[in-house]
Amino acid sequence: MGEERIIPPPPVQRRRDNEILSEIPTVLGLALWLELRFVRTWAESCGDVRARLFNQNPPAWVADRRKEARAQAGPLASALMRLATVTAAPLAVDSEAVAVACSQVVDWALKREHFQTAIEFAEAAALVDPTNAAMANLAGRVTRNAKEYARSEVWFNRGIGFARDQDNKVELARGHLGYGTLCKELGRVRGARKHLNSGSRIARKHGPRSLAAEAQHDLCALLIVRGHHAEAEKRAQRALEWYGRSHQRFPFFVADVALLFMLERNYVAALRLLKGVLRVVDRPGPRSILLAMYTRALAGVGETDSAAHFRRRALRLLANHHEWEAAALWHLATAERLLQRWESAEADAVRGLELALAANDRETIRLTRLTLTEISSRRPPPSRVTRRDEEFRAFFQTLADRLSGWSPRQARSRRPPWGGDQWAA
């Protein structure tokens, strides 16, 4: 049996469930905190021991608090009732149903930005139904998004292992894609190749073509910033072939390809693509980084006044929308470096690095540090490049044509593949 098939034990408990009370300082928070502790205690026990874990005649105030919590719970009322079955009938617990109840709490908590609550209940779901690949993948996704990478890696390994043993193609694809995204965030090119390609193949064969396209897109994005430009272009061509005409991520895929062109100093092509992307993306957060990229492309072609204009527009958006501020500042710093405005470039890069370090955004940290080294050298940037080969021209024209026909209305109405709102890893 190869190492890939070894299913690791769950990670050691975080013991940070008290943070639920900080995030939800109400009776509902207290009830969730108690139910979580009961679920974990039950999951850690076995056999007849479970019958002696809980007081079958709790004091009246416990019942009153549970009733009060359910009154406050709204969409969580049914989940709380299901969680309460752990103490009411510990020898007859439906572990799958309790895990689903935990996952409902996770969805509820994430929508309200109660991230610690989401982590605790995601891991509880994976513990109470320990061979459930979907719950292991859920725990992997939630912990990864919280940048608890070591825990996430364990959960995704468990999700992949159980899905493979059960021949569950949906969760096997999700596990590989989730693990591949983790490797992408950590800059592990080899791991990202392995898992994103595996997830892509499974999705292409057994599920939605669009999911396979997204995997190739994610791999392409990592290869771009890691300097594997020829391979990145091949992945981009594959993603372009598989993406649907109204896929919601398509404009951002085009923006990533524009970044590839900029890193190859083909600023004219990047500028044309980014102009098209800006026409169809109007949400302020994503638009801020796109404006920063457009500024960089303008600087690359020497359009000083236009670059200054779009830089101001980007900074105005970043003043109120901070989601991608660190990465946007990297683009703005690079634009200033291309224009040899060294002091401004350094200020942007230093601020961007501070934000990236605070967010533990490893790729942006690495890229910004490289840019700071380039700024400190004070060397003039290399001249721009224009590609004229037929393969490139066909690739570029297809991107431009597909982007011009992209419809955001159709993209928003798109049904998630394999069902459910949380299909993606």
The single residue listed with the structure tokens 């501020």 is: 325
Alpha-carbon span 140 to 367, nearest angstrom: 26
Alpha-carbon span 78 to 269, nearest angstrom: 54
> What was the pLDDT predicted at 120?
96
Give pLDDT tens digits for 103-117. 999 999 999 999 999
Burial class (CB in 10 A: 0-12, 13-18, 19+), 404: exposed
Alpha-carbon span 314 to 327, nearest angstrom: 12
> What was the pLDDT predicted at 69?
80
> What was the pLDDT predicted at 4?
52
CA angle 383, 223, 254 (to 5 degrees): 75
- Which CATH number describes the domain made up of 168-264+387-425? 1.25.40
> What was the pLDDT predicted at 188?
92
Please, what is the end-to-end C-alpha distance for the chain in angstroms?
26
Burial class (CB in 10 A: 0-12, 13-18, 19+), 332: buried
Residues whose CB falls within 8 Å of the CB of residue 125, separated by 6 or more in sequence, listed in order: 98, 99, 100, 102, 103, 106, 132, 135, 138, 139
293 pLDDT above the threshold of 50: yes
Q: From its phi and psi, is residue 406 left (phi > 0), alpha (psi between -120 and 50) or beta?
A: beta
- Which CATH number describes the domain made up of 267-378? 1.25.40
Residues whose CB falls within 8 Å of the CB of residue 106, separated by 6 or more in sequence, listed in order: 118, 121, 122, 125, 138, 142
Give pLDDT tens digits for 312-348. 999 999 999 998 999 999 999 999 999 999 999 999 9
Q: Which of 50-59, 209-218, 243-252, 332-341 has the highest mean pLDDT?
A: 332-341
Residue 378 DSSP label: T
**CB of 343 closer than 8 Å to CB of 378:** no
User: Which of 20-24, 45-49, 92-96, 420-424 is predicted with the least confidence, judged by mean pLDDT?
Assistant: 420-424
Give pLDDT tens digits for 354-404. 999 998 888 999 999 999 999 999 999 999 888 889 999 999 999 999 999
Enumerate the domain spans of the chain: 3-142+151-161, 168-264+387-425, 267-378
Element counts in the chain: helices (H) and strands (E): 21, 0
Q: Residues 403-425: what's their mean pLDDT?
A: 58
Same fold across 168-264+387-425 and 267-378: yes
414 pLDDT above the threshold of 80: no
Alpha-carbon span 59 to 339, nearest angstrom: 72
| Residues recorded for the chain | 425
Alpha-carbon span 210 to 213, nearest angstrom: 5
Q: What is the pTM of this model?
A: 0.80
